[in-house]
Amino acid sequence: MQDAGLNPVQLAGRIGCTPRSVEGWIAGDHTPYAPTRHQLSDVLKVDEMTLFPEAARHLLKTGPDREVRHVYLHNREVPLTVWRKLIGEASHDIAISAFDFYFLWELIPGLSEILRAKAGDGCQIRFILGVPADQLVQADEQTTETPLKLSTRIEQTRYVLEPLRDIVGVRETPLGYGRSVFRGDNEALAWMWPHGIWGGDFPVFHLQRRQDGGVFDQMAVRHIEALWRDATPVWPEPEQPPPAAQPPVP
Q: 180 and 80: one domain?
A: yes
Residue 116 dihedral angles phi and psi, to the nearest 5° = -65, -40
246 is a domain residue: no
Domain assignment of residue 180, yes or no:
yes
CATH number (domain holding residue 164) = 3.30.870.10
158 and 55 within one domain? no
Number of domains the chain contains: 2
Averaging pLDDT over each range in 45-49, 131-135, 193-197, 207-211, which range is the top one? Answer: 207-211
The answer on 117 and 97 residing in a single domain is yes
Domain boundary among 32, 60, 88: 60
Domain-embedded: residue 2? no
Are 46 and 81 in a shared domain?
Answer: no
In angstroms, rounded to a whole number, what is the distance separating the alpha carbons of residues 141 and 123?
Answer: 35
How many CB atoms lie under 10 A from the CB of residue 153? 22
Specify whether 18 is located in the same domain as 134: no
- Contact present, 115 and 85 (Cβ < 8 Å): no
91 secondary structure, DSSP code:
-
In a domain, 14, yes or no: yes
Residues 18 and 95 in one domain: no
Q: Flag whether 171 is in a domain.
A: yes
Query: Is 1 within a domain?
Result: no
Q: Residue ranges of the alpha helices (H) in the chain?
A: 8-15, 19-27, 34-44, 48-51, 53-59, 80-88, 104-107, 111-120, 135-144, 150-161, 215-216, 223-230
> Are 40 and 106 within one domain?
no
Do the domain assignments include residue 122?
yes
Q: Are residues 195 and 79 in the same domain?
A: yes
Give the DSSP letter string of 119-182: HHTT-EEEEEE--TTSHHHHHHHHHH--SS-HHHHHHHHHHHHGGGTTTSEEEE-GGGTTEEEE
Residues 119 and 153 in one domain: yes
In a shared domain, residues 41 and 76: no
Do residue 153 and residue 222 come from a single domain?
yes
Q: Is residue 239 part of a domain?
A: no
Neighbouring residues of 191: CB distance < 8 A, sequence distance ≥ 6: 75, 179, 180, 202, 203, 204, 205
Q: Is the pTM of this model over 0.75?
A: no
Q: Are residues 104 and 225 in the same domain?
A: yes
- What CATH number is given to the structural domain containing 51? 1.10.260
Q: Indicate the range of 14-18, 143-147, 208-212, 243-247 predicted with least confidence.
A: 243-247
Q: What is the per-residue pLDDT across 103-138, written as a single tens digit (0 to 9) for each? A: 999 999 999 999 999 999 999 999 999 887 777 777
Q: Which residues constitute the domain of residue 102?
A: 66-233
When pLDDT is averaged across residues 27-45 and rounded to a whole number, the result is: 86
Note the pLDDT tens digit of each residue in 77-98.
888 889 999 999 999 999 999 8
